[in-house]
Amino acid sequence: MGKKGKKEKKGRGAEKTAAKMEKKVSKRSRKEEEDLEALIAHFQTLDAKKTQIVETPCSPPSPRLNASLSVHPEKDELILFGGEYFNGQKTFLYNELYIYNIRKDTWTKVEIPNPPPRRCAHQAVVVPQGGGQLWIFGGEFASPDGEQFYHYKDLWVLHLATKTWEQVRDYIYYNDVYTFDLDTFTWSKLSPSGTGPTPRSGCQMSVTPQGGIVIYGGYSKQRVKKDVDKGTQHSDMFLLKSEEGREGRWVWTRINPSGTKPTPRSGFSIAVAPNHQTLLFGGVCDEEKEESLEGDFFNDLYFYDAIKNRWFAGQLKGPKSEKRKRRRGPKAEPEGADKQDSGEACAHAPLEVVREVVAEDGTVVTIKQVIATPGSSTQPQSDEDDSPEEAGGPWVEPRPRSNAMLAVKHSRLYLYGGMFEAGDRQVTLSDLYCLDLHKMDQWTVLVEADPETQEWLEETDSEEDSDAGEGAEGGEDEDDQDDDEDSSEEDGEPQHPVVTPGEQFEDYLPRTELYWVRLARDEVGPEAKEKRVLKVAHAMAKAFFDDPA
């Protein structure tokens, strides 16, 4: 009885300890959420000081990913909102609004009073009602160290004609299907029959010509054993459509398209062409290992034809002048040159592969592709006086990436930004490309960006030490951790955020504002009013921007 009593007492003690730890973790989670809400409120206070609409011509936006790029329903414009940027140490969130004029090839930064809080990975859709509306739902906010996250569940609309933001309402988002009535501003929950997609994030939706909705791909994790999760990159497709003769009733159907399907991936981007074909670009296939995650990034293009229920690979034809060169015969070899015998020549001959691809207007085009075999050459041979310009110039294509922004206007596909990884470094892009979907010849660069010039800050020893001491009893004061993160110093001098080449102060300040606010708060003391702290922060940022040395 005595031993049993000790065991029961020991068991109750373990339960008590577990409950205490759970309570402690829950308390800390609430504290972290409160910290993020306070940070969001701070930024909203700054935004509240903007009382007028200000439109400023500007250089292309700074690098970012997980923003939204939308097509204006009436004008030849693209609308860029929000996004995030990570420089190796800090995460920056944006709620900036940029307009790209397609015909003039110009950017304009539009500051509108009372915008949505800073965010990334939100959903955006444009509708023509009321002179055009940009709807924004949800998204994510992250702490500067990227360790804490806050997920929005709010809904906003930007009235494009009057340039005014409006927050419509708030609701709790589940893994369900909802419709939103643009006339009554009300949500309705659907209860489709059939088997729909499993719970997931990062899936993409597009509308079919018949009014159905196609769901493709996504990402999810499953617990395979204690403290071990396994990620799944989905490549399945589902169709949500209304039941014939039953108004208001919807049904799920799993579809299995034919043709050349995209390989499994996440972080891809989609847009809808005027002929209702869905375009898919890029993405990443993550390979999970025991203690690492390696990504294979893509820059390929696929078309999905909902009417034919078929995938097509988007192969580019190349410039016409280059094709003419390829039709020319080889130059005559100089006298005395060694010649291969017929058997060797046959073994080294390039292979010709015939593929079917789809043009933007829906027609199927047969394209021949030459593939080199060992010892063969697929390079076109031409006269020496042919210049690169006559040959159509160098072949240009976007680098492989994920989480890019995609939009179609006037049968042209626009690709902006995104990210890729180089070792431990995350590179965020700010380039802009265009592809004529009628010609399907080659990409055109509208905004160039050199990732090599991008600032990247390695983790400091103080940050690693801070993480290592996290499990000690009592932990470390969170304010002290913030101080460690902000004080990457050499010889006692703080390393301020670097000014990137060609960057304007109006772009530099939003990207680095949090850093300067913290520095200013240390300078003026904790009793200083927020207005005073902000004024000092902006002055310090301007002084460093004008004279980084």
Domains of the chain: 21-168 (2.120.10.80), 177-317+397-451 (2.120.10.80), 505-546 (no CATH)
pLDDT (mean) for 500-505: 84
Residue 515 in tokens: 């850093």
Asked if 497 and 511 touch (Cβ cutoff 8 Å), the reply is yes
Radius of gyration, alpha carbons of the chain: 28
Residues whose CB falls within 8 Å of the CB of residue 483, separated by 6 or more in sequence, listed in order: none
Tens digits of residue pLDDT in 361-386: 444 444 444 434 444 443 434 333 44
Task: Quote the pLDDT of residue 57.
Answer: 96
What's the whole-number mean pLDDT along residues 481-494? 45
pLDDT at residue 313 in the model: 94
Cβ(398)–Cβ(433) under 8 Å? yes
Question: pLDDT digit string (tens) for 464-482?
Answer: 444 443 333 343 343 443 4
The predicted-structure confidence for 66-84, as pLDDT tens digits, reads as follows 999 999 999 999 999 999 9
pLDDT class of 225 with cuts at 50, 70, 90: low
pLDDT reading at 221 higher than 80 = no
Q: In this predicted model, which residue has the larger pLDDT, 107 or 179?
A: 107
- Distance of alpha carbon 29 from alpha carbon 149, whole angstroms: 10
pLDDT at 496 > cutoff 90: no
Number of Cβ within a 10 Å radius of residue 107: 19
Region 425-433: what's the mean pLDDT? 93
- Helices 530-546 and 505-524: crossing angle in degrees, nearest 10, is 130
**Tokens read off for 501:** 């080449």
Which of 170-179, 290-299, 302-311, 539-548 is the most confident on average?
Answer: 302-311
User: For residue 193, what pLDDT is reported?
Assistant: 92
Residue 537 has pLDDT above 90, yes or no: no
Place of tokens 């050349």: 260
CB contact burial 55-83 (16+ within 10 A = b; e otherwise): eeebebbbbbbbbbbbbbeeeebbbbbbb
**Residues above pLDDT 90, as percent of the chain:** 39
